Structure formats: structure tokens, C-alpha cells
Amino acid sequence: MNCKNCGARFSDERAELGYDYCSRAECVEACFKPLDVVAVAVNKASDQYVLRRDLDLPERPARRSGRDEGGWLSGLRTQPPANAPTRHSTTARIAQLEAELDAALEAERDSARRAKLVNDYNARLRRLNIRYRRSAQRRA
């Protein structure tokens, strides 16, 4: 059989494998078409590999503008709304609660009311679902 690019004769074994060009570098570069294979993730199984043309996908996915850090979940990441409140770290929230408690304790003279303020503070810390005693010790 003859090469479709240069016209030179190539081996019958190569023709049996389905090639219609010879193995010279120039011919391979001109005639080689790589397969566009997509890995499809399957739940609780190994990935399955399918030709892109069999999935009715666009030739190349549209590129998003902006910085893309990659990863298979990066497309799911969204920006928070502009009016969303900022989240503070655990130590910052504890410091804010302590400041509120200190301000309330300075204004209160009744011992029963002061005990209630401290108990309310401890309850708010427990709602943060953290080991608040250990966090407070680390800051000190």
C-alpha cells in the first residue's frame, strides 16, 4: 500500500492496523489525528472513556474569563453576593463576644444579673460549636 502523504510504499502490517500513511516523521505529523477522548466519572466505578463526538459536546469548552484555579469542582464555585455579610474567624467572634460581655458587666451591679450575663455568654459560645475554653487559652 502507498502512503497518502508522500506516495512511498509502507508495510502490509501497518495497513492491516488501519493506517493509510507511512511512519516517517513528516507523514505522521501531517496525517496523524489524535482521538479526542473524554473521561466520564461513574459513581462507585472506574472512569469510562468515550469519544467526544459520541457525547454531542462542543469541540472545545468555552473559556471563562477571570482566574481559574482548576480542579474538578472549580466550575461549581460561585462568588458571594455583594451584600453578603463577611464571616469572621472563630477567635474574632470570641473576642467580639468577650468585648460585649465586658461592656455589659461594667454597666451591671446586680450579682444575679451579672451571673445571667455570664451564663448567656457561655451559651452563645456553645452555639458556635467550638472548644471555646481551649481557644480562649491559646489567645492568652
Is residue 124's pLDDT more than 60?
A: yes
Is residue 125 classed as helix, strand or coil in its secondary structure?
helix
Which CA distances in Å does 82 have to 28, 68, 78, 86, 114? 54, 20, 12, 10, 39
Average pLDDT over every residue of 72-100? 74
Average pLDDT over every residue of 116-136? 75
Q: What is the pTM of this model?
A: 0.35
Tens digits of per-residue pLDDT, 34-78? Answer: 877 888 888 878 888 888 778 776 666 666 555 555 566 656 656
Outline where DSSP puts E strands in 20-126.
37-40, 48-51
Instruction: Note the pLDDT of residue 132.
Output: 47
Tens digits of per-residue pLDDT, 16-27? Answer: 998 898 989 999
Average pLDDT over every residue of 82-107? 83
